[in-house]
């Protein structure tokens, strides 16, 4: 189904994103107040330094080298050192205190985005690119740390300090110095804003190029085996190099635009400082100012323009950080297509009865998958759904698990419409063995325990035995502690499916769904697992989606889907006697089985994927 567009435009930077950071500042009010106190103390110390330096120079100049006048400059020198040290000390304390606020904000926002991504629907995750998404989140989290540190304690304090210096120069000397300082600051900030706005598009181009190249490399490496199967290493390298060429071009534009910005800022600072020093030197020669005053003006100019130069860097980085975090913040504006109703209650499963009532569904308006499906599964009954590929079998499971909602009709569990209950409680009640088992890069034991994370080792081992995994694990040197590799690539398809079955059995839900659960198993393993599943089905409501009809002959009811409609229903014997779609499909599979009898199954021999040989 089409996803609504995000409300955040990616072609402009939203300063309103800063509002989302305020709650994290308020979480540590005492720390923020203490950090602000350290900030004020540090600024007072830095503003007082030039005045101490002026008196030191004037006293030394007036003393003419007389020994009697040494005491006063020595005291001022000691005071100068103490004030300079206190400025640095308070600045470091400020950063240390506020560091906790920054780190907590990064943690909280990162967690919020992570949780939100898990709340988004299946359609979003089917269309995402993992590599690019992870880079966007990483850059966004880093950008938040930058914003919290520099926006709060560098940009605003620097502007306040500039205003204080301008007032002091006007009050103690001449309005010309204040106008020179303020004029230079306004020109500098104006140039920085205009130039940085112009540069922002190059930053975005660079970010897009980095995301594309990262996504391409991650996709290629995740599909390593497919690349090897078709000998497409050169194709992948060429595609990746083209993405890197775009990145190189974007990087060069970004670098050259930064060069122009730096040169312009340096020119403004050089002209302003030279003008102030010429004006001060002229006043000294006229006798209106002392040598100490000349030194004070010089110190103030350096004190203003060195941080101002840093302010230019901070503004550039701030814009870059906002460009980085806007995508991450935009993720938070994406609304899940499937949401719980307000105060939706938990699903309480007492019997486990499932009902589909006139369910219609299509992933797109022009692609109808289910056309008025109605059936029921009685408590502790085993119902199988069979049919050709594309008939809509797996779609039924996705609707039951509420990855999608029907376009029409409703689905009930124990008489309650699943759209009216909490999604978490619904999914806790359903155990799933998917057609394609995807494992975490952890041990076999932990992958099975994922079905119920608080299960004991004994319960995990019991599930492993039911899933016919014990013999396989016994062949491994590290047993259940053996790592399965990225997405379980070190296991064969059959072994991955058995781990998935064990994981679902450990969950012990009242409803079980098997979506082609034995499609990757050899005949011997399949028979063992079917016996175990028959025992489990006596205590649970079971829905089996199958292609192999031999795996569902014991089902209480078999539903035959064709073109999104139920065309037949009944037991195995009844459907064979009816000599319809099911009977034709049964004969076809029996002929295929007879023609391939004697050929090895998918997991014959040792039952190990080639990747295991390297760890034995």
* pLDDT of 555 strictly over 50: yes
**Residue 364, SS3?**
strand
- The reported pTM is 0.61
Q: What is the mean pLDDT of residues 110-139?
A: 71
CA separation, residue 168 to residues 155, 174, 176 (Å) = 20, 10, 12
> Which tens digits make up the pLDDT trace of 487-499?
667 777 778 888 8
Q: Are 445 and 503 in contact (CB under 8 A)?
A: no
DSSP labels, 412-438 = EETTEEGGGS-HHHHHHTEEEE-SS--
Across the chain, what does the average pLDDT equal?
Answer: 77
Residues in contact with 104: Cβ distance below 8 Å, sequence separation at least 6, in sequence order: 24, 27, 28
Mean pLDDT on 200-209: 78
**Alpha-carbon distance 309 to 311, whole Å?**
5
| Least confident stretch, 111-120, 173-182, 247-256, 382-391 | 111-120
Q: What is the pLDDT of residue 413?
A: 92
Estimate the crossing angle of helix 156-172 against helix 175-222, to 10 degrees: 170
The confidence score (pLDDT) of residue 357 equals 92
pLDDT interval class at 309 (50, 70, 90): low
- Cβ atoms of 93 and 172 closer than 8 Å: no
pLDDT in tens, 434-471: 877 778 888 888 888 888 888 888 888 988 888 878 88
For residue 356, the model assigns a pLDDT of 93
> Which whole number is the average pLDDT over 32-54?
78
Q: Which domains does the chain have, with CATH numbers?
A: 17-333 (1.20.1560.10), 354-614 (3.40.50.300)
- What are the structure tokens assigned to 86, written together? 């206190």
Asked whether the beta carbons of 176 and 288 are under 8 A apart, the reply is no
Q: CA-CA distance, 490 to 78, in Å (whole number)? A: 69
pLDDT value at 7 more than 50? no
């Amino acid at each position: 189904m089409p996803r609504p567009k995000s409300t955040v435009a990616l072609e402009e930077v939203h300063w309103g994103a800063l509002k989302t950071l305020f709650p994290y500042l308020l979480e540590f009010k005492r720390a923020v107040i203490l950090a602000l106190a350290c900030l004020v103390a540090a600024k007072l110390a830095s503003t007082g330094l030039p005045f101490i330096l002026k008196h030191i120079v004037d006293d030394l100049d007036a003393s003419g080298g007389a020994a009697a006048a040494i005491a006063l400059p020595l005291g001022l020198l000691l005071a100068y050192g103490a004030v300079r040290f206190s400025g640095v000390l308070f600045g470091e304390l400020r950063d240390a205190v506020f560091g906790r606020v920054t780190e907590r904000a990064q943690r909280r926002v990162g967690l919020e985005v992570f949780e939100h991504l898990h709340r988004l629907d299946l359609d979003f995750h089917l269309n995402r690119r993992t590599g690019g998404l992870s880079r966007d989140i990483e850059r966004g989290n880093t950008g938040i740390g930058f914003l919290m540190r520099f926006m709060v304690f560098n940009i605003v304090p620097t502007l306040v300090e500039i205003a204080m210096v301008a007032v002091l120069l006007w009050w103690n000397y001449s309005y010309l110095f204040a106008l020179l300082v303020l004029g230079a600051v306004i020109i500098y900030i104006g140039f920085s804003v205009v130039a940085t706005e112009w540069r922002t598009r190059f930053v975005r181009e660079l970010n897009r190029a980095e995301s594309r190249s990262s996504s391409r490399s991650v996709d290629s490496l995740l599909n390593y085996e497919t690349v090897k199967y078709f000998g497409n290493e050169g194709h992948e390298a060429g595609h990746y190099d083209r993405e890197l060429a775009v990145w190189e071009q974007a990087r060069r534009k970004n670098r050259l635009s930064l060069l122009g910005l730096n040169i312009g800022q340096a020119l403004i600072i050089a002209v302003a400082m030279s003008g102030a020093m010429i004006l001060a030197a002229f006043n000294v020669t006229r006798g209106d100012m002392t040598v100490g005053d000349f030194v004070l003006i010089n110190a103030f100019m350096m004190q203003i323009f060195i941080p101002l130069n840093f302010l230019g860097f901070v503004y550039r980085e701030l814009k870059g950080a906002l460009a980085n975090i806007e995508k991450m913040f935009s993720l938070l504006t994406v609304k899940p297509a499937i949401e719980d109703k307000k105060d939706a209650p938990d699903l309480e499963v007492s019997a486990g009865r499932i009902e589909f009532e006139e369910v219609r569904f299509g992933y797109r308006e022009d692609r109808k998958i289910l056309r008025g499906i109605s059936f029921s599964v009685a408590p502790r009954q085993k119902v199988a759904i069979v049919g050709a590929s594309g008939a809509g079998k797996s779609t039924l499971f996705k609707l039951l698990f509420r990855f999608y909602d029907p376009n029409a009709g409703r689905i009930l569990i124990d008489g309650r419409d699943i759209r009216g209950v909490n999604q978490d409680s619904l999914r806790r009640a359903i155990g799933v063995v998917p057609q394609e088992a995807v494992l975490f890069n952890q041990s076999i034991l932990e992958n099975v325990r994922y079905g119920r994370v608080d299960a004991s080792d004994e319960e995990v081992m019991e599930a492993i035995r039911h899933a016919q995994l014990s013999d396989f694990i016994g062949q491994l040197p590290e047993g259940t502690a053996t790592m399965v590799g990225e997405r379980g690539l070190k296991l064969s398809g059959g072994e991955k499916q058995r781990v998935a079955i064990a994981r679902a059995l450990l969950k012990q839900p009242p409803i079980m769904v098997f979506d082609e659960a034995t499609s990757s198993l050899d005949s011997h393993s399949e028979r063992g697992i079917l016996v175990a599943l028959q025992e489990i089905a006596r205590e649970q409501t079971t829905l089996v989606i199958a292609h192999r009809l031999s795996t569902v002959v014991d089902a209480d009811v078999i539903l035959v889907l064709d073109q999104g409609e139920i065309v037949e229903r009944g037991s195995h014997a009844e459907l064979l006697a009816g000599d319809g779609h099911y009977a034709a499909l049964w004969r076809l599979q029996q002929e295929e089985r007879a023609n391939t009898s004697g050929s090895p199954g998918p997991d014959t021999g040792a039952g190990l994927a080639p990747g295991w040989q390297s760890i034995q």
